[in-house]
Structures are given as C-alpha cells and as structure tokens.
Amino acid sequence: MIRNKINILKNIIVLELAFLLVITPNLKSQELLEGARIWGNFELNSQYYFSDTLIGAPEVPEKILMNGFGNINLSYKDLTIGMRYESYQNALLGYDRRYKGNGIPYRFASFTRDNFEVTLGNFYEQFGNGMIFRSYEERDLGIDNAMDGLRLVYRPLDGITLRGIIGQQRLFFDTGPGIVRGFDTRINLNSVFSSLEENKNQWIVGGSVVSKYQPDRNPLYNLPENVAAFAGNLSFARGPVNIGSEYAYKINDPSAENNFIYKDGQALHLTGSYAVRGFGLLLSAKRIDNMGFRSDRNATGNDLNINYLPPTTRQHFYSLSSMYPYATQPTGEMGFMSELTFRIPRETTIGGQYGTNVTVNFSRANSIHKEKIHDTIPVGQTGTDGYHSDFFRIGDEKYFQDFNIEINRRLSPTLRGLISYAYINYNQNVIEGYIDKEMVNAHIVIFDVTHRLPERRSLRWELQHLYTKQDNQNWAMAMIEYTISPNWFFAISDQYNYGNEIEDLQIHYYTLSAGYSKGGNRFSLSYGKQREGVVCVGGVCRKVPASNGFMLNVTSSF
Amino acid sequence: MKSLFFKFNKTRYIHVVLCFQIFFLAFTSLAQRTTVLPELTISTLDGREVNTKTLDNDGKPFAISFWASWCRPCLKELNAIEEIYYDWQEYGFKLIAISIDDARTRANVLPMVKGRGWDYEFYLDENGDFRRAMGVGNVPHTFILNGKGEVVYQHTSFSDGMEWEMFDVLLEQLDQND
C-alpha cells in the first residue's frame, strides 16, 4: 500500500521534473510566459455555532463549519486555463449538505483565435434573458449549475454572434443525469446592414433552441426523453427609448416540479424604458406558464435548473425590507413592475442645495388563469395535460405586491440621508410552501443617515421598523457603523422582534462586527444571532436557519 | 486502521497533476506578470457588444468599478464619486462602471443611472465573464488603471472617503505619466 503511494508520488515528481526541464530553459531563453496573466480569488466563510433553543439554532456537532473556495486562472496569448478548488468542512448551516468534502468541480481551458472561441470543461453561459438556458453561479445561495462539456462561440461578422453548447450540469460534486444541448444566435441589425449603420433605430434580434436528453425509466408513464425549448427575442432602442421582448416555448416535460403533467410551457417577458438625464422610467411585464426546465425531471429545490425565470419585483437590500422577498413561481405567474427614478435638481426649494434622488417602485405578481381540462379531472392531475390556461387572463390569487418609495438626499457637505417606505403583501402559502398561513401585509419604514467626519472617517446609522399583524408581527432594528476609510469598519446592530405575540420570542438579534480591507483583501469577524429567514439573490432564494455564533469571512483577489 | 493518507484514483491523480502544473505556471509567471485587461465581450446598456480591450482613457489613468443595481455599498460608492466627479474630470480621469446585474434587474440599470444623473461610462457584464476574468468575487470591487491600461490599485467593498483615496491614486498615476 505504502509502496504504491510512494510510486504515485514518484510519478508526480518525475512529471514535474520533466515539466521543469521543458519549461525552464524556454522561460530563460524565449521568455515563453512573457505576457502571461495570472489571476484568481479566494473566499472563506466559517462559523462557530452555539446552540440556542429559543431562536431555534440547532446544536452543531462539528461546532465549526466552513465553506471555502479558490479560483486560479492563467492566460497566455489565446489560451486561458483555470480551475476552482472548493472545500466544505462541513457546509455552513443553510447550505445543502451535499456540498461535502473537497474537490475541483470547476476547471476549463478555452482558446480564442480570430472570431472563434472554444471552451472545454466547465463554463457559464446564458441565451437571451436566460428563459430557456442560463448556467450561472450564485455563491451566497449555494447555486452553481455550471455546464461541463463544450462551448463554441463564433462571430462571423461584426454584429453576429453564434453560440453552441453541449454538456451536463454540475450537481454538487457530480453532474446531473441529463445532457443539455443548445444553439443561440444574436444579430445586431444595425451592425450587419450598412444601410442601417447610421439609423437612429437600433434593432437586435436573437433566437435559441435548447434540448435536454434523459432516459425514461418510469414504469407508469411514457415520458419524453428529449425535451426541446425555443426562444426568440427582439430589442429596440431609439434615443431615450429602449424596448425588450422575449418569448419562450417548451414542449411537454412532465417533472416532479409540475406534478408530472404533459402540458407544454410558455413564457413572455417584456420591458420598456424611457431614460434621460435626471429621469428614468421602467415598465416590465411577464407571464410564465409551466416553464420549469431541469436536466433531471426528478430534481427539486434549486437543483439542475437549465433556465432562469427572472421575477419582476424589486430586490430590497435593507434587512427589514428584505424580510419578505419574492421568488419566481415557475409553474405559473403573471407579473408587472414599474419603477420611476428621478432627480430633483440642486438649488431648488424641493431639491435642496445638493439635489435629491427619488425612486418609486410598484410591482405585483399573481397566479395565471387555470381551468380544468375535464369536469372530472382536477387541475394539475398527474399524467394528464394538467389544465387549460387563457394566455391573457390574470389568475385570481395574489402572490406578491410591493409599493415602495425611496428618497436620498445630501443635506450638507458632511451629512447624507435616505428615507424609505414600503408596503408589501406576501403570500406565504405560495412563496414558502405553507398551506394555511395568512397573507402578510407589512409596512416598513427605514432611515439611513451618514455623517462624514474629519480624516476620512464616517458614522452611519440606520433605524428600521416593520409593522405587520401577521407572521411574527412587529420588528424594530437599529444599527451604528463607524468606518475609518479605507481600511476599517466596526458595527453594532440589533433586530428586535418586540411585537411577537409569544412573549418568550420577543428576542433581540444583536450582532457585533468588525472588518479590515486593503487592496483585494478583506477580513471580517462578527458575533451575534441571525434570525431564521430567506436569503434571495436575483429572485432565487435559500432558507437560512437561525444561528448564534462567531462568523469569519475572508476574501482575497489577486 | 484506516489510512490517513488520502486515496488515489485516476481522476484525483489527474487533478493533482493539473493543480501542480497550474500552480507552477502561476508562480513562474509572477516575474513577468502583467496586469492588463483581458479581452472579453461585454455590452453597452442598449445591448451593443463591446470588447474589453477597447476600455481606455486616451492615455490617462481611469477607474473600473464592478457594481450591481441591488447592491447598497455600490450605490453609495457611485453616489460618493459623483460628488467629486467634477474634480476627476478636471484632470481627465473617468470611471467605467461595469454592472453585473442579471436578467432580473438588467433593464433597471439604464433608467436608474440616467435617473440618478450619473455621468460614468456604463457597461453590462451579464454572464459574469469580465468579472471572473478580473478575479472579482463580491461587489463593489474597484480597480485603477494607469495610462498604459495596467492595473495599479484595487479595492473591494466601499466606505465613505474611499473616493478621495481613489482620486489620490489617480493623481499619483498622472504624476508618473508625466
């Protein structure tokens, strides 16, 4: 056994020596690597856990858990190679436990020559808005559906991009069972046709097709082994006006997500904006019907999604306004959002000496209309076509609504303030999967004030309040942060669930934190309690359990 | 007794060899390390594709900031720089702001930046190719490049006052240019 290992080590040493012999003379004589570029980044998140039965923080047998990863890449002339080493010892609470141990789940080599690019190994890619294909990573959510296979990108003419992909998707330290193939084309008409080059109307059209293959071993149903999805998009710009549209269609794809119905899927996403200096208006709308698309029909949660269905709601970033975040419902929803951003000019009565920024946002998501396919068959019955749906008819059930306004103003050379109000309706049954919870109606008010102090120091404080009669009822939050720019910060905060109807659960979730950053490095250490909740990025969410303990975060880029 | 020495299989063996090679290449190339921008495709806010090699400032230093419309420190940074941007422009400096917003918020970026009256040069890096190629983990992450397009400074996160430090670095680079 030991001899075997020694032999393997010997082999590695021999390989390395051979590598050195070949490379080193070249380095000296021909400066082979002159012009090579190396880069990467590293991140470590670790937490020491205390059990806290009151807030629901469980006993953690390991006491300390850690997620860490590092990317290292090298490019030389037309070649780029890279890899990511990941380590979970074990994964932090709230992350999927299938992230376990160490490995190199991401490695690639890509080669670019003229207008042609080839990637071997892992890659991230998106077609259009991603409604039929998007492979991406979102570390905070533990999402990484990187493709492992081949990607070709070809730009035959200025303004035309062709992309082809094939491979399997990452599933923790493995890949999913399905094979994903796709082709996308994107044409900027103004670049391609010289007659349109000077035209004020800018047109971009695109189309894509993606198909997945997974064998059918189901004893009961005859399931499609190849499922194709198609999408077309068109965008138009003229001066301050921008319009974007995308329609996607997927053939029937019975899956665990749609309760194994044989209905086809559709999605439509429209955006329009008008923007001039000091004024911006955005309108967006979408309809999604049975558009869950995964490379394993049995997958659930955030596993093996081939596509990405963006929600049309605002992503809040204050702790209480993000307490009730929306997540797209792939089985069906209709949504609408409008956002107005404007600046009241400086040195006016309302705008003040330095001007004022205002953002007003409204969004709403509802169910889609669903009708029985037959009197005796309930909507969504397994093994049937599921339901009929009128494309333009909005369903009766409200999933989410958010009205919010934010006013940001510099009050003096050393004082800047923000005030925000939001009224959110949040359907817990649909978004979190409960069956008997009430709609949460929450009013949230936020003050955020920054005082600039001498010697590039600053003091920032936040006061937040959330009022609701549902769920855990009222919350108050206060935070003070002191920064010594550019390196240090210290903060203390407390979220207090003072309105909880159970007196013992009127808990203070306090946190103390400090951090240091310099160059591409950042360290932060904090101690405190974290409430149970949902973390969302880009409309995709992960539940985080309550916890109590020390947290260490280290990030570094080079 | 279970061996503490990790088990080798073929895949892991190849991985180990690959790691050695990459680390070797990385460290041997440190001596010749250059920090110029990679060549990748990003897009303008109205969807036209642009190669990152074209990002420059006519031989003067400039800053590149990775940000997102949903990232509060990023908005603070862009607001803070805006307050002294007139001084930056006096010296010919500029800020190139690369949004990493995805399909959810991408359409918000143009009305937001126009509505706020920011005068920076904006691009979208929706697939994260440029972000990954610059080793950017979290946003905001800001780089300063000298007149030759070489990265001379970087900073992750933002705290008030950092806009002045960036201004100082830009001035230093201008002096070195002269």
CA A366 to chain B, closest CA, distance in angstroms equals: 17
Using the Cβ of A513 and the Cβ atoms of chain B, whether some distance falls under 8 Å is answered with: no
- With b for 16 or more beta-carbon neighbours within 10 A and e for fewer, the A437-475 pattern comes to bebbbbebebebebebeeebbbebbbebbbebeebbbbb
Query: Least CA distance to A484: which residue of chain B?
Result: B159
For residue A296, which of A255, A259, A333 has the smallest C-alpha distance?
A: A255
Residues in chain A: 558
Kindly give, in sequence order, each residue whose CB lies less than 8 Å from that of residue B130, ignoring residues fewer than 6 positions away: B38, B40, B42, B52, B98
Q: What is the pLDDT of residues B5-29, one digit of tens each?
A: 344 455 555 555 555 555 555 555 4
Q: Least CA distance to A519: which residue of chain B?
A: B155
The answer to whether A96 touches A142, Cβ cutoff 8 Å, is yes
Instruction: Identify the helix (H) or strand (E) that includes residue A179.
Output: strand A179-188
Q: Does A359 touch chain B (CB under 8 A)?
A: yes
Q: Nearest to residue A74, comparing CAs of B120, B84, B34, B139? A: B34
User: Are the Cβ atoms of A489 and B159 closer than 8 angstroms?
Assistant: yes
Contact assessment for residue B132 and residue B57, using Cβ atoms and an 8 Å cutoff: no
Out of B79, B103, B113, the one facing A129 most closely (by C-beta) is B103
Contact A310 B102 (CB under 8 A): yes
Residues in chain A closer than 8 A to B115 (CB atoms): 275, 278-280, 340-343, 357, 359
Helix, strand, coil tally for chain B in percent (to 5): 40, 20, 40
A315 part of contact set with chain B, CB < 8 Å? yes
Contact between chains at A40 and B135 (C-beta distance less than 8 A): yes
Phi and psi based region of residue A56 (left: phi greater than 0; alpha: psi -120 to 50; beta: remaining): left
Query: To the nearest whole number, what is the mean pLDDT of chain A?
Result: 90
Among A108, A148, A157, A341, the residue to mutate for chain B (most B Cβ within 10 A) = A341
Q: Which of A3, A155, A317 to mutate to test the interface with B (most CBs of B within 10 A)?
A: A317
Structure tokens at A126: 């998106």
What does the pLDDT read at residue B25? 55
- The answer to whether A234 contacts chain B (CB < 8 Å) is no
- Predicted pLDDT of residue A25: 45
Partners of A548 in beta bridges = A529
Of B34, B49, B72, the CB nearest to A161: B49
pLDDT in tens, A60-100: 999 999 999 999 999 988 899 999 999 999 999 989 999 99
A483 touches chain B (CB under 8 A): yes
Tens of pLDDT, residues A7-37: 555 555 555 555 554 454 444 433 456 778 8
Q: Does A461 touch chain B (CB under 8 A)?
A: no
- Give me chain B's average pLDDT, please: 82
The total of other beta-carbon atoms located within 10 Å of residue B176's CB is 11
3-class secondary-structure state, position B109: helix
Q: Of the ranges A362-371, B30-39, B74-83, which one carries the lowest mean pLDDT score? A: B30-39
Q: What percent of chain A has pLDDT over 90?
A: 75
Residue A371 DSSP code: B
**Which 3 state secondary structure label does DSSP give A251?**
coil
pTM: 0.88
pLDDT at position A134 over 90: yes
DSSP A398-411: EEEEEEEEEEEEEE
Q: What chain B residue is nearest to A237 in terms of C-alpha separation?
A: B46
Q: Which residues of A touch B159 (CB under 8 A)?
A: 458, 483-486, 489
Question: Both tokens of residue A70?
Answer: 């590092």
Nearest to A339 among B17, B45, B108 (CB): B108
State yes or no: pLDDT of A475 exceeds 70: yes
> Are A105 and A133 in contact, with CB atoms under 8 Å apart?
no
Alpha carbon of A122 to those of A73, A79, A228, B75, B109: distances in Å?
13, 15, 22, 32, 29
Which residues fall within 8 angstroms of residue A499, CB to CB, at 6 or more apart? A467, A468, A472, A473, A474, A475, A506
Task: Give residue-wise pLDDT tens across range A190-216.
Answer: 999 988 888 999 999 999 999 999 999
The residue type at A235 = S
Q: Are A186 and A192 in contact (CB under 8 A)?
A: no
Contact B111 A275 (CB under 8 A): yes
**Closest chain A C-alpha to B155 CA, distance in angstroms:** 5
Among the residue ranges A435-444, A532-541, B68-77, B85-94, the one predicted with the least confidence is A532-541
Residue A172 has pLDDT above 60, yes or no: yes
Sign of CA dihedral A10, A13, A17, A23: positive
Q: What is the pLDDT of residue A24?
A: 47
Pairing mode of beta strands B95-99, B121-124 = parallel
For A504-537, b/e burial (b = at least 16 CB within 10 A) is eeebebebebebebeebbbebebebbbbebbbbb
> Would you call B115 and A85 a contact, using CB atoms and an 8 Å cutoff?
no
Interface check for A73 against chain B (CB to CB < 8 A): the answer is yes
A485 or A13, higher pLDDT: A485
d(CA A126, CA A419): 37
Q: Which CATH number fits domain B41-177: 3.40.309.10, 3.30.300.30, 3.40.30.10, 1.20.120.1200?
A: 3.40.30.10
Instruction: Give tens-digit pLDDT for A96-132.
Output: 999 999 999 999 999 998 899 999 999 999 999 999 9
Yes or no: say if B154 and B114 are a contact pair by the CB < 8 Å rule. Answer: no
Q: Which residue has the tokens 């294909």?
A: A133
Cβ neighbours of B165 in A, within 8 Å: 456, 485-486
* CB–CB contact A280 B25 (8 Å): no
Q: Which of B164, B172, B124 is nearest to B145 (CA)?
A: B172
Helix, strand, coil shares of chain A as percentages rounded to 5? 10, 55, 35
Q: Which pLDDT score is estimated for A537?
A: 62
pLDDT score, position B52: 92
